[in-house]
Amino acid sequence: MEPNAMNQPDDDGAQDFALMKQIAGGSESAFRLLLERHQDAVVGTVAKMLGSSSDAEDIAQQVFLRVWQHAKSYRPDAKFTTYLFSITRNLVFNETRRRSRKKEIPLDTGDPSGSHHEPGEAPHRQPDATLLEAELRIAVDKAIASLPETQRLAVILRRYESLSYEEIAEVLDLSVSAVKSQLFRARSSLREALAGYLND
């Protein structure tokens, strides 16, 4: 699969490439800027992949450490975000497999967005529509967390990061048709898991 060449990079892509050139030269300030630009996306993706936010920041730190370590070998053959999510994929897949071997895959039933009820706060005081929306969001997150890892990452990159099929294909090292197949199977599983909500 041929990566998309950056013959006409968008403003964001050009800025990322410029920052990576500075990082390759040892610029810590450029690295901090790059971190600020992409940290939330990486942490959010890792948290959704692991079903818990507890280890997301640690994994994200490892992702950016690799970006720093390999900055000199970076080439803009594809968007920087594709490169970044490819590193994220490797580390997250390693972590999920490590957990699977130990049979210690926690599924956080809380809201991955970080919104939690404080002690003494009464959820039933919220409007019914807000409760239903929160309940659906949690159900969607749990359904996504139950997908096989490749399908799960494809859905997360498409739904939350708005990556194109071509970009997802590069991240997952698959053909575009294989990505579409993975997403089709994932959506079928999600529709089945969320049938009760969809029917309502």
Q: Tell me: do 30 and 97 sit in the same domain.
A: yes
**Is pLDDT at 106 greater than 60 in this prediction?**
no
Q: For residues 156-184, give the mean pLDDT.
A: 96
> Can you give the pLDDT at residue 127?
56
- Asked whether the whole model's pTM tops 0.75, one would answer yes
CATH of the domain at 160: 1.10.10.10
Which of 74, 108, 142 is the C-terminal boundary of a domain? Answer: 108
Q: Tell me: do 104 and 165 sit in the same domain.
A: no
- The domain total for the chain is 2
Mean of per-residue pLDDT scores for the chain: 84
pLDDT digits (tens, 9 = 90+) for 121-159: 444 445 577 877 788 888 888 899 899 999 999 999 999
Whether the Cβ atoms of residue 148 and residue 123 lie closer than 8 Å to each other: no
Residue 193 CB-density burial (10 A; 0-12 exposed, 13-18 middle, 19+ buried): middle
Do the domain assignments include residue 12?
yes
Whether the Cβ atoms of residue 85 and residue 161 lie closer than 8 Å to each other: yes
Domain carrying residue 161: 125-200
Do the domain assignments include residue 1?
no
- Hey, how many other C-beta atoms are within 10 angstroms of the C-beta on 45? 24
pLDDT digits (tens, 9 = 90+) for 85-104: 999 999 999 998 888 887 65
Do the domain assignments include residue 80?
yes
> Can you give the pLDDT at residue 114?
45
Q: Tell me: do 173 and 141 sit in the same domain.
A: yes
